[in-house]
């Protein structure tokens, strides 16, 4: 083989690689356009608006990964890379890959469990493993919470399935439990009427179930009144604060004393 044949073979190989790159680039951009079109129509299309928001977002992430995987495999085939060689490489590295992604696989299965049993949903206010916030996304590997101080917390789905989940939004109503301590010489009936008057005047408090106001404990320096009031779940925080502020003001007007702990120290001086 002379130099001319080698040069011609080299040029032909370069031209072949060039056209493969061009075709691969075209397939990549067209594929991205098709993927975006599919993701826009399903599951985000108008026909699927009835789908649960949590399921819809999870399906969107899963379909996106699958479609991009198909796109990559297609480009590899266009470049002329033998699929048998690719499979062999992946098979050889299978053990290492399995060890590397076992955590991700656990998170993926955790996401599937969340979709099946639905302990939470997008928009729910929850507490998970000490983290509290609104669920903004249930992804394939992570669940994202937005906290009250506007922090974004990503929790692995495996942790979700292994932790206790408290969902504050699943029920329409919640019960506010607060306690007030008053002096032992207070008029018990006056205290009860005062607290009930505050509750009745607050439009966030529900009449049914009826409010509960009773003495439930006798502390060292105070009678403890437990107050239980039902309200809409969205009004919980506001009503709890209202009860403390308004009852404190009502106690002052009614002359009801709220005691505080005090310590009397007696110093005994011995004569020498």
Long-range CB contacts (< 8 A, 24+ apart) of 122-126?
Answer: 122/53, 122/54, 122/57, 123/53, 123/169, 124/167, 124/168, 124/169, 124/170, 125/167, 125/168, 125/169, 126/165, 126/166, 126/167, 126/168, 126/169
Hey, CA dihedral for 47, 49, 51, 54, is it positive or negative? positive
**Strand pairing partners for 134?**
125, 146
* C-beta separation of 224 from 195 below 8 A: no
pLDDT of residue 182: 94
pLDDT digits (tens, 9 = 90+) for 183-205: 999 999 999 999 999 999 999 99
Confidence bin at 92 (pLDDT 50/70/90): low
Average pLDDT over residues 109-138: 85
Average pLDDT over residues 123-136: 89
Beta strands in the chain (DSSP E): 125-128, 131-138, 142-146, 152-156, 165-167, 173-182, 212-218, 223-232
Better pLDDT: 180 or 49:
180
Better pLDDT: 57 or 229:
229
Please check the confidence at residue 128 and state whether its pLDDT lies above 70. yes
pLDDT of residue 96: 56
Whole-angstrom distance, CA of residue 158 vs CA of residue 172? 28
Whole-angstrom distance, CA of residue 10 vs CA of residue 148? 64
Furthest-apart CA atoms within the chain: distance in Å: 123
Please check the confidence at residue 123 and state whether its pLDDT lies above 90. no
The helix/strand/coil state of 228 is strand
Long-range CB contacts (< 8 A, 24+ apart) of 142-151?
Answer: 142/107, 143/111, 143/114
pLDDT of residue 157: 87
Whole-angstrom distance, CA of residue 98 vs CA of residue 11? 42
pLDDT digits (tens, 9 = 90+) for 26-66: 888 888 888 888 877 766 554 555 666 666 777 777 788 78
Please check the confidence at residue 84 and state whether its pLDDT lies above 90. no
DSSP letter (8 states) at residue 167:
E
pTM: 0.60
Domains and CATH numbers, the chain: 3-92 (no CATH), 173-254 (3.30.70.100)
**Strand pairing partners for 176?**
229
For the chain, what percent of residues have pLDDT higher than 70? Answer: 79
Average pLDDT over residues 144-152: 91
Rounded to the nearest integer, the mean pLDDT of the chain is 82
Please check the confidence at residue 243 and state whether its pLDDT lies above 70. yes
pLDDT of residue 21: 81
Please check the confidence at residue 87 and state whether its pLDDT lies above 80. no
């Amino acid at each position: 083989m002379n130099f001319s044949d080698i040069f011609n073979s080299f040029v032909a190989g370069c031209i072949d690689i060039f056209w493969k790159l061009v075709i691969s680039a075209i397939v990549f951009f067209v594929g991205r356009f098709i993927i975006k079109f599919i993701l826009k129509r399903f599951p985000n299309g108008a026909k699927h608006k009835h789908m649960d928001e949590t399921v819809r977002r999870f399906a969107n992430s899963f379909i996106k990964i699958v479609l991009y995987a198909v796109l990559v495999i297609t480009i590899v085939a266009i470049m002329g890379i033998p699929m048998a060689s690719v499979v062999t490489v992946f098979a050889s590295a299978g053990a290492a890959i399995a060890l590397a992604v076992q955590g991700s696989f656990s998170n993926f299965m955790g996401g599937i469990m969340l979709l099946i049993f639905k302990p939470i949903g997008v928009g729910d206010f929850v507490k998970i493993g000490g983290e509290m916030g609104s669920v903004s996304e249930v992804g394939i590997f992570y669940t994202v919470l937005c906290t009250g101080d506007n922090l974004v917390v990503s929790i692995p789905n495996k942790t979700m399935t292994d932790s206790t989940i408290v969902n504050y939004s699943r029920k329409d109503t919640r019960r506010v439990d607060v306690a007030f301590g008053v002096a032992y010489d207070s008029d018990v009936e006056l205290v009860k009427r005062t607290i009930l008057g505050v509750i009745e005047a607050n439009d966030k408090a529900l009449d049914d179930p009826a409010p509960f106001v009773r003495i439930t404990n006798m502390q060292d320096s105070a009678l403890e009144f437990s107050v239980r009031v039902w309200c809409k779940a969205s009004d919980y925080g506001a009503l709890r604060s209202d009860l403390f502020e308004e009852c404190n003001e009502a106690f002052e007007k009614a002359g009801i004393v709220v005691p505080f702990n005090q310590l009397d120290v007696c110093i005994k001086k011995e004569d020498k």
